Amino acid sequence: MTDLANPTSGESLGVNGSAVGPTGQTRSGMSADALRAAVRDHLVYSIARPAAVLTPEHYYRALSLAVRDRMQKRWMATTQDWLDLSAKVTCYLSAEFLMGPQLGNNLLNLGIEKQAREALSDLGQDLDEVLACEGEPGLGNGGLGRLAACYLDSLATLERPSIGYGIRYEFGIFRQEISDGWQVEKTDNWLVRGNPWEIDKPDASYVVNWGGHTEQYEDVTGRLRVRWVPQRVLQGVSYDTPVQGYGVNTCNTLTLWSARAVESFALEAFNTGDFYKAVDEEVVSETVSKVLYPNDEPEAGKRLRLLQQYFFVTCSLQDILSIHLKRAHLPLHRLPDKWAIQLNDTHPSIAVAELMRLLIDEHHLAWDDAWDLTVRTFGYTNHTLLPEALETWPLRIFGEALPRHLELIYEINDRFLDEVRARFPGDEERVSRMSLIGEDGGKSVRMAHLATVGSHAVNGVAALHSELLKQSVLKDFYEMWPERFGNVTNGVTPRRFLALSNPGLRALIDDTIGPGWLTDLERLHGLESFVDDPAFRLRWREVKRANKSRLAEYVHSITGIELDPTWMFDVQVKRIHEYKRQHLMVLHIIALYQRLKNNPGLTIPPRAFIFGGKAAPGYFMAKRIIKLITAVGDTINADPEVNRCMKLVFLPNFNVKNAHLVYPAANLSEQISTAGKEASGTGNMKFMINGAVTIGTLDGANVEIRQEAGAENFFLFGLTESQVEKVKADGYRPLSHVENDAELAGVLELIANGEFTHGDTEVLRPVVDNLVHHDPFLVLADYRSYVDCQDEVSRAWLDRDAWSRMSIRNTARSGKFSSDRAIREYCDEIWGVRPMSVDLE
């Protein structure tokens, strides 16, 4: 949000409708009439197409621009207010923001859905058809990026001044197609049709250095300083998107950085006649924000990935410092009073060294002062316990790319390890475990350690996860600074994941307990007094049925498979990963298939099994698991002996847009990761809010979901985290489970014998081999417990009223999982950021 650095430039913002007259009404009026006029206006002046050729897509763009206009004065007023009042601001640094479609959400938050529908209808358009034209801004992989987006919604709704900082990837997460049962990746050129929500600020940008070396020099006062002489220079240009709060004037900012060649450098080459070098430089520079890395977990050693991280971090920190120094001429030592910077996982953790560099090299602060400000400003959220997922950078790559930062990290490390030695004298093993520089398998920089040492607060994302953090990957740090460690259980925004995506349930809840619950989700408890009301339960089921029909229609249009909305919808949607155990769900499906084939007279309560999720393109096993799912689906769906009571769908390209259709349609939510592996999960919360009942392990936030819902409204199975550790310590023998379970043996044999692959015994062999010989995620150890639990689910489903009660109680007790609760905790316990109401008058 670079231009904010100069709040006094230009004219007064004229917040209060300085715009009078026809144009002002067109830009700000909230009535259906004003919106209709605004859409007409944009069709002429922004879209520039004659009436005869207008399509719903044109109306989508015109309406989006009209809606953006309506956020504009709220946006300017919000920013102006926190500048004027010198309010403390949260900066949420995240390499991913998985925002989802914006138009519907903005209409909801502005409170003008009805008016927009009416305005479009007057123009001969259907709002739903127009909404469907919006593409997915897929600037994230999954849960982590979606969490960042939910948090922006809550920050604005809770009227907390905030800026989200990230990367404007030209290509987001790939589009997944399924061909012959395999995942095929297609590039996601999301900007090709324009993005009506962003405003670019090409006039303001920051310089980003890269590579080269450092030099010492004496400044005018005779002090020794360090200068970074980069090998390459590029610049970051900001694109700002408004983030409108629900039912409030607050409209915050998401700033995404896009890489450009530095003009002067290119010009220099031009002037000396080296045209090709100039163009080449540009190509290389713009590569930096070209594409999102499609891995759910980081992979080590990609130079461009490090450049992406550094690129958006330095632009963001330079922006923050520049706003800080210009606003009321605040001195640098007030930085932690005015800014709370949160690191969403380690992806932005280079910020610790970069802020030190800016404060020391550019602003000439002394080391101790700079370090004090740095630690007081940063907070770090850890998102994973998987040791292979903890980010490290090989020292050589790091030092070549960021030579000055490596020096600073060595200095931070020396001082830090002195502290460790003072606290734990003689414990050199501890010193090497805690060092910022790892020695195992070639030297590397440990980013989680850097983030922990450089932050005053470190949190996990669910109660269990935060406990395990203190006992495992950050144990030594916890022993050193117990007061730094806390927990903030994740949450999801009920605006998008209930009101927007489940309008039927929203209306029923409004009818039943009145308004107010959407910003105070604990009020859903009010639904509990209606569980014994048969008329209410009937309406509850009708809403779910309508959502299932809506999903069935979509599934049919995409896959050609017909689903019966009276069947149980049993759903697992999330990234494909061995620890999430999609293959465990498949084993249960094959067990049912086997039972039906062996007993032609058998009937089971009919179920539709629905999967969705992307596999990282280089993740061999995850791609085989997709093939397993689709192969089993093809077999089941085509076989009249089984498809009378079971079907299987793999919904391609799971993303936020189609998630809107999926979560509200689920009866059963599959949350079946190996205990101790899923940090929190947020899909589990979206299902619960929408009245699905969970079958799950005691992992991540499932633990708290079960606590809130009540054990009787949750299907629990599987080993606990400590049991998992014990099994592993004792030496896990998967074959023992096969030997003791004839049904399981039969299931694995069906896969191995090619039952689902037209006799091909090779395609799925790696999956079976993995399960039977070297599976760190203990699928077979949990198989029997899971399948028995599923039999219990089937019995429970037969009692319609009992199931409805469970479903209602899940929604009624889901209040804790609102991202509003999570953001309040961050604001109160970590950021010290207070509400600031924005007055438009």
Q: Which is nearer to ligand PLP, 99 or 763 (CB)?
A: 99
| Residue 702 in the binding site for ligand PLP (CB under 6 A) | no
| Residue 106 in the binding site for ligand PLP (CB under 6 A) | no
Judged by phi (left if over 0) then psi (alpha if -120 to 50, else beta), residue 172 lies in beta
As measured in angstroms, the least distance from the Cβ of 681 to ligand PLP is: 4
- Looking at 575, 647, 737, 809, which residue is catalytic? 575
The CA-CA-CA angle for residues 328, 330, 331, to 5°, reads 155
**What is the DSSP code string of 462-512?**
SHHHHHHHHHTTTHHHHHH-GGGEEE----B-HIIIIIIT-HHHHHHHHHH
Q: Does 657 participate in catalysis according to the annotation? A: no
> Interacting stretch for ligand PLP, rule CB under 6 A, among 56-64, 600-608, 680-688, 815-823?
680-688
The answer to whether 379 and 342 have CB atoms below 8 angstroms apart is yes
The answer to whether 382 and 345 have CB atoms below 8 angstroms apart is yes
- Looking at 175, 580, 657, 809, which residue is catalytic? 580
Q: Does 682 participate in catalysis according to the annotation? A: yes
As measured in angstroms, the least distance from the Cβ of 682 to ligand PLP is: 4
Q: Which is nearer to ligand PLP, 316 or 694 (CB)?
A: 694
As measured in angstroms, the least distance from the Cβ of 474 to ligand PLP is: 22
As measured in angstroms, the least distance from the Cβ of 460 to ligand PLP is: 15
> Interacting stretch for ligand PLP, rule CB under 6 A, among 13-21, 35-43, 547-555, 677-685?
677-685
> Interacting stretch for ligand PLP, rule CB under 6 A, among 51-59, 236-244, 345-353, 675-683?
675-683
* Helix, coil or strand: residue 394: strand
Q: How far is CA 631 from CA 576, 699, 747, in A?
A: 16, 29, 14
Q: Which is nearer to ligand PLP, 310 or 654 (CB)?
A: 654
> Interacting stretch for ligand PLP, rule CB under 6 A, among 78-86, 88-96, 212-220, 651-659?
651-659
Collect all residues with Cβ–Cβ distance below 8 Å to 21 and sequence separation of at least 6. none
Q: Which is nearer to ligand PLP, 143 or 394 (CB)?
A: 143
As measured in angstroms, the least distance from the Cβ of 577 to ligand PLP is: 8
As measured in angstroms, the least distance from the Cβ of 817 to ligand PLP is: 11
| Residue 655 in the binding site for ligand PLP (CB under 6 A) | yes
Q: Does 686 participate in catalysis according to the annotation? A: yes
Q: How far is CA 333 from CA 357, 369, 374, 689, 773, in A?
A: 15, 8, 10, 44, 58
The answer to whether 671 and 783 have CB atoms below 8 angstroms apart is no
- Counting Cβ atoms within 10 Å, is residue 664 exposed (0-12), middle (13-18) or buried (19+)? buried
As measured in angstroms, the least distance from the Cβ of 100 to ligand PLP is: 7
Collect all residues with Cβ–Cβ distance below 8 Å to 33 and sequence separation of at least 6. 119
Q: Which is nearer to ligand PLP, 101 or 681 (CB)?
A: 681
The one-letter amino acid at 11 = E
Q: How far apart are CA 516 and CA 562, in angstroms?
A: 38
The one-letter amino acid at 295 = N
Q: How far apart are CA 280 and CA 232, in angstroms?
A: 12
> Interacting stretch for ligand PLP, rule CB under 6 A, among 70-78, 453-461, 679-687, 725-733?
679-687
Number of residues that bind ligand PLP (CB under 6 A): 13
Collect all residues with Cβ–Cβ distance below 8 Å to 824 and sequence separation of at least 6. 158
Q: How far apart are CA 110 and CA 249, in angstroms?
A: 9
As measured in angstroms, the least distance from the Cβ of 686 to ligand PLP is: 6
For the record, the structure tokens of 248 come out as: 């409030």
Q: How far apart are CA 110 and CA 478, in angstroms?
A: 44
- Looking at 574, 581, 813, 816, which residue is catalytic? 574
Residue in 377, 288, 340, 334 with CA at minimum distance from that of residue 95: 288
- What element of type H or E holds 61? helix 56-85
> Interacting stretch for ligand PLP, rule CB under 6 A, among 32-40, 264-272, 417-425, 655-663?
655-663
Q: How far is CA 94 from CA 235, 241, 781, in A?
A: 19, 15, 36
Q: How far apart are CA 97 and CA 137, in angstroms?
A: 9
- Within 518-644, residue ranges assigned H as helices are 534-559, 582-598, 620-638
Q: Which is nearer to ligand PLP, 166 or 681 (CB)?
A: 681
Q: Which of 73, 506, 686, 813 binds ligand PLP (CB under 6 A)?
A: 686
- Counting Cβ atoms within 10 Å, is residue 526 exposed (0-12), middle (13-18) or buried (19+)? middle
| Residue 683 in the binding site for ligand PLP (CB under 6 A) | yes
Residue whose pair of structure tokens reads 């924005």 in the numeric block = 838
As measured in angstroms, the least distance from the Cβ of 699 to ligand PLP is: 11
Chain center to CA of 33: 37
As measured in angstroms, the least distance from the Cβ of 710 to ligand PLP is: 22
- Looking at 686, 737, 813, 816, which residue is catalytic? 686
Scanning residues 477 to 536, which ones bind ligand PLP (CB under 6 A)?
none
Q: Which is nearer to ligand PLP, 142 or 196 (CB)?
A: 142
Q: Does 456 participate in catalysis according to the annotation? A: no
Q: Which is nearer to ligand PLP, 101 or 683 (CB)?
A: 683
Scanning residues 543 to 582, which ones bind ligand PLP (CB under 6 A)?
574-575
* Helix, coil or strand: residue 349: coil
Q: Which is nearer to ligand PLP, 682 or 790 (CB)?
A: 682
Scanning residues 136 to 175, which ones bind ligand PLP (CB under 6 A)?
142-143, 146
Decide the pairing of beta strands 693-696 and 175-179.
Answer: unpaired
- Looking at 635, 682, 697, 811, which residue is catalytic? 682
As measured in angstroms, the least distance from the Cβ of 98 to ligand PLP is: 6
- Looking at 27, 42, 160, 383, which residue is catalytic? 383
Q: How far apart are CA 832 and CA 817, in angstroms?
A: 21
As measured in angstroms, the least distance from the Cβ of 497 to ligand PLP is: 8
Using CB atoms, what's the residue nearest to ligand PLP? 683
Scanning residues 609 to 638, which ones bind ligand PLP (CB under 6 A)?
none
Residue in 683, 641, 661 with CA at minimum distance from that of residue 649: 661
Q: How far apart are CA 841 and CA 832, in angstroms?
A: 27
Scanning residues 748 to 777, which ones bind ligand PLP (CB under 6 A)?
none
Q: Which is nearer to ligand PLP, 107 or 659 (CB)?
A: 659
Q: Does 23 participate in catalysis according to the annotation? A: no
Q: Which is nearer to ligand PLP, 209 or 572 (CB)?
A: 572
Q: Which of 681, 696, 718, 815 binds ligand PLP (CB under 6 A)?
A: 681
> Computed from CA positions of residues 825, 826, 829, 831, in that sequence, does the dihedral angle turn out positive or negative?
negative
| Residue 682 in the binding site for ligand PLP (CB under 6 A) | yes
Q: Which is nearer to ligand PLP, 444 or 702 (CB)?
A: 702
* Helix, coil or strand: residue 251: strand
Q: Which of 551, 656, 738, 823 binds ligand PLP (CB under 6 A)?
A: 656
Q: Which is nearer to ligand PLP, 575 or 805 (CB)?
A: 575
As measured in angstroms, the least distance from the Cβ of 829 to ligand PLP is: 23
The answer to whether 422 and 363 have CB atoms below 8 angstroms apart is no
Q: Does 470 participate in catalysis according to the annotation? A: no
Q: Which of 552, 659, 692, 806 binds ligand PLP (CB under 6 A)?
A: 659
> Interacting stretch for ligand PLP, rule CB under 6 A, among 115-123, 251-259, 480-488, 678-686?
678-686
Chain residues in the site for ligand PLP (CB under 6 A): 142-143, 146, 574-575, 654-656, 659, 681-683, 686
Known catalytic residues?
383, 574-575, 580, 682, 686
